[in-house]
Every structure is written in structure tokens, then in C-alpha cells.
Structure 1
Amino acid sequence: MEITQVILITLIAFFAYMHCFVGSTMHNRPIVVAPLVGLALGDLHTGIVIGATLELVFMGAFPVGASNPPDFVSGSIIATAFVILTGQDVSAAVVLAVPIATLVLLIDNFLMTVVLTWGAHLADRYAEEGDLEGVERMQLLFAIGNKLILALIVGIGFSLGVPAIEKILSLVPGYVIHGMDVAAGIIPAIGFAMLAKMMLNKKIVAFLLLGFVMVAYLKITVTGVALFGLAIALIYVNFSGTKEVVVDDNEF
């Protein structure tokens, strides 16, 4: 394994973890990260395929308050690298990504509850002294440092090499791997259900049903349905207009 590949993988991880520093652009998602790994390892096509697959697996993974989802950045990067370097089937990425993401989540939770809390106390001391620049330094140091540590963990995990990963997987019982396969098939449905719960209402549920009908009975591809939905959205926005709101300021 070349040192250049390790550095590139670490930089990709750091780039993904830093998405929240530029307005949560969501470039930490598997559909973005996996192709970058594929590009770094010389197999962009496999990276794109794995990215789309893992995006379905982690579609419902998003932070809600203090609850964090599995760390899909690490899972996506290491799983994609494993499949590309070993020539395994794409399904192997799913089996590997979920436990890795869960493990790194535990590390991230430790960093947030111990290390970042310590940084917050240091910032409080600067605040008591009226040192605004000190508070800003602590914020940048610990926030960026947290992401850097996670990126280094991903880089170290990649540098351990495929044999180490294969050895770890060989210790996992077959029924556990089968259970992960089954769970991986259920997770996308849960993700879609969570998204639907947030988005659906009586005004737009008809459009969702229309999309299913188009795929199931008219045999239209997902891309075709998406383009059809885009056309409907443009028509709706352009021709529905905005109703003029009349404000009556006559109190009597």
C-alpha cells in the first residue's frame, strides 16, 4: 500500500468531516465520498456504484439533537477501499460499512463528551476574562481538531491494510454477517420511511403515489420519474402564482 494512497484517503476523510464548517453542504454523504475514494484508488466506476449503494443504506442516518447516526464517512471510505483493493462484490461494502461506522461513532461520542467538553471549559475561562479571541481559538482548535482526529483514525484504519480487515471479518460468525445483510436490506426502507414522515402531507402525497405508479406499471426508470417530477414542480411554481394577501388595518 502506497503512502500516497494513505495520505489521499486521510485527506478525503478530513474533507468529508469538515462539511459542517462550510454550511453543511452534505459532501460527507457516501454518494460523494465513495467516488472520491474510487478516484484516489484508480477505480472511479466502482466508487460510484458503492457510493449509490451505501447512500441507500445510510439515507436515514442524520443527527437529531444530541443523537448521532453511525459515522458513515469512515464506513463508506474504508468499505469502498476494501472492495476496490480486493475485487470483492459490492455487497461486501455494505457488510463492512455498518460495523465500521458504528465503531467510529463510539469514538466520536467519546471525543465529544470528553475532549470537546474540556475545550468548552477552557473557552469558559477565556470568556470570564473577557478574552473573545481566546474563546474563538478554543472553538477552532477543538472543533477542527476533532475532525482531524477522526480523519487520522480513518487513515490508520486504511493503512492497516486489507489483510487486517479480512482477518477481522474472518472472526465474525457467518450468522452475524447474514444478519447484517438482512439489516442492510431493511435500513433503506427505514430511511425512506423517516424521510416520508418529515416530508409527506396531504398536498404532496399524490405525487409520491404517482411516482410509484409510473415505476410499477408504466416501467419508467427512476431518472425518468425524477425528470417528470422536476417538470411538474416547475409548472406548479410558475403557474400557481402567489395569492395577494390583503391586510385590513381597520380595527373597527
Structure 2
Amino acid sequence: MIKLLSLALLISSISILERRLKSSSYYYLLHPVLVAPLGGALLGNLSTGIYIGLLLELIWGINLFDYDFGLQYIHLAAILATVLTLMTGNISLITNLTIVIIITYFLQEVVINLSSKTNQWLIEGGLFLFIITLLNFIPILKELLGEIPAQFLNQLSVAGGLLPSLGLGVILAQVIIPKYLNNEQKSSYLLTLLILLLFSLRVTRLLPVLFIVIWGGLYLLLKKLEPSTYFLRLVIGGLVIIATPLLVEITGPLVDSQLKLVLWSEAFLSLSTISLLLFEITQFELYFICLILGVIVSRAGLLL
């Protein structure tokens, strides 16, 4: 009972902060990769909280800064997804995330329709009671998830493996459109997110701390150097291409061992195209440069 009350208080606090700070500059201190681990730590599984937070950072990306439609209470969704996933025994993250998005969107619409100064305390109390009720129904949700056929859960895990690629694709699309990188804050955030995704392959527990340190450092660096938007777009696009073969995990009977090779080939071709723009060389010049490098590397015994 104490754990349920603690979780309800934590989730309610995140909900209050998300709504109260929405119009202030301090809102950017709230991020899924910082919020979700709080639920994981309270339930004794910090790593799962960090993973879910990082996944939601990737899914929503730069939309965390300014959005006028769709799901707006993303941090509430992050903490709820972590709690539900851990309390249902990690049966299906995708199913829990889907349920959480539906619940959060419903709560968002209720709050927007009832929002006023007179109704404020009523809203806070109602949300707290709703969260307590939801947490008490988690054992029933766990049983329902246990009834889902294993084959369907396997298909969901395949879909979950595609989420990073979709998130990276969105970042790449946003990089192409100049309006998305109109300040140092957004540019430094995207760079930090991509660096964090690469770090996540080796480190997990330090990611929230690294997020704050790297983002703050990159923001100050970009503020001082003032690089061109064109250069930043090339750098972020290059990191997306490099990260894709490392982060995308797709398993199943229709996927063979050549998937990674295909992804690396696509990455090489894409990076080659970026290098054409960056160094202002033609495809033929790049071909001869790669040919010479290939001969040197093979002579050194580094190319099989």
C-alpha cells in the first residue's frame, strides 16, 4: 500500500509539474529520460526506466519543444509506461505504451475541458484518485496481458524493434526542413539525443546524468561557435545514418543475418552522399578516393 501511494504521489507530481511549467522556460528541465527512471528506481529497476525514457525521447524528439496537437502530456506518459511495464512483469512494453498513450490522451482532454482556477484543486485530487485506482487494477491488467497469445506478443516485439528506426527517420526528416533547427537549443538537443543513443549501447545507468552534461556543454559550445545551420544539418544527418545500423533490432523468420550488412551498406552510401555535399566533390572523385583507401587498407591487412 505504501509503494502504491508513493507511486501515485510521484506520478501526480510529474503531472502537476508538466502542466504548471508548460509555459515557462523551466519546462525543458522535464524530459522522459529524466522522468521515467524515477519510476524505475522506485520499483527497483532503474535500467528499464532509462530505456523507456530514451525510447520516448527518440519517438517524440524535437516535438518535445513545441507542439499544438496530439499527445501533450508526454512526461506523464513516460512515468506511467515505466510503472505499468514493471508492475506487469515486462510482458509487453508496446502494449503497455499503447494503453498509457490512450489513458494519457483521455486525461489530457478532461483537464483541458475542465481547466480553470476554480477547478484546479478538483482536477489535482481527481487525477490522484484516478492514478490510485489505475495502479490497483494493474494485477487485472497483468492477467489480461498474460492471455495474449505468444505469437502476437512476438509480432509486437518485432514492431518494437522498428520504433528506433521510425524515430531516427523523423529526426532525419526534421533535419531536412530548416525551420526545425532554428536555435541552438534544438540543435544541441538532437545532437545530445543521438550521442546518448550511441552511449546506450555500452552504458545505461549514467545516461540521465550524461544527458544533462552533454546537452548543457553542447548548447554553450554552439552558442559560442555559432556554426551554420547547414553544417549542423549535415552533422546530425550523419549521426542518424551511423546510429541506424547499431540501434535497429529486427528479429523474426523473415529476417536473416544479412540485415545488418544491408543497413551498413545503406549507411555507407548515405554518408558518401553527405560527403559529396560537405567537401564539394563529385561522385567520380569520391569513387577514386574510396578505391585508393581500399587498396591502402587491404595492404595493411585490415580489409578481409
TM-score category, normalised to shorter length? 0.5 to 0.7
Q: Which structure is higher in RCO with an 8 Å CA cutoff and minimum separation 6?
A: 1
1:18 aligns with 2:16: yes
Cα distance, 1:17 vs. partner? 1.4
Name the counterpart of 1:100. Answer: 100
Structure-2 change in CA distance of 1:28 and 1:5 (3 Å): farther
1:200 aligns with 2:161: no
* C-alpha contact (below 8 Å) 2:55/2:164 kept by paired residues: no
Cα distance, 1:105 vs. partner? 0.6
1:177 aligns with 2:156: yes
Residues in 2 aligned to 1:13 and 1:51: alpha-carbon distance in whole angstroms: 14
Structure-2 change in CA distance of 1:29 and 1:169 (3 Å): farther
* C-alpha contact (below 8 Å) 1:37/1:47 kept by paired residues: yes
1:236 aligns with 2:238: no
TM norm structure 1: 0.57
3-state secondary structure, aligned to 1:140? coil
User: After the TM superposition, which of the residue ranges 228-237 and 19-28 deviates more from structure 2?
Assistant: 228-237
Q: Which runs of 5+ in 1 are unaligned?
A: 117-138, 238-252
* Structure 2 letter corresponding to 1:64: Y
Cα distance, 1:104 vs. partner? 2.8
* Structure 2 letter corresponding to 1:97: L
Cα distance, 1:111 vs. partner? 4.3
Residue-pair matches, total: 199
* C-alpha contact (below 8 Å) 1:13/1:77 kept by paired residues: yes
Residues in 2 aligned to 1:194 and 1:156: alpha-carbon distance in whole angstroms: 40
* Structure 1 letter corresponding to 2:15: Y
* Structure 2 letter corresponding to 1:112: I
Structure-2 change in CA distance of 1:7 and 1:161 (3 Å): same
TM norm structure 2: 0.49
3-state secondary structure, aligned to 2:27? coil
Residues in 2 aligned to 1:164 and 1:75: alpha-carbon distance in whole angstroms: 17
Q: 1:38-57 to 2 correspondence within 5 Å?
A: 38-57=40-59
Match of 2:142 among 165, 169, 178: 165
1:30 aligns with 2:32: yes
Residues in 2 aligned to 1:221 and 1:104: alpha-carbon distance in whole angstroms: 30
User: C-alpha offsets along residues 49-83 of structure 1, whole Å, 9 cap, x if unaligned?
Assistant: 33222322333555634x24164344323331244
1:150 aligns with 2:139: no
3-state secondary structure, aligned to 2:105? helix
Residues in 2 aligned to 1:27 and 1:48: alpha-carbon distance in whole angstroms: 16
* C-alpha contact (below 8 Å) 1:17/1:28 kept by paired residues: no
Structure-2 change in CA distance of 1:74 and 1:231 (3 Å): closer
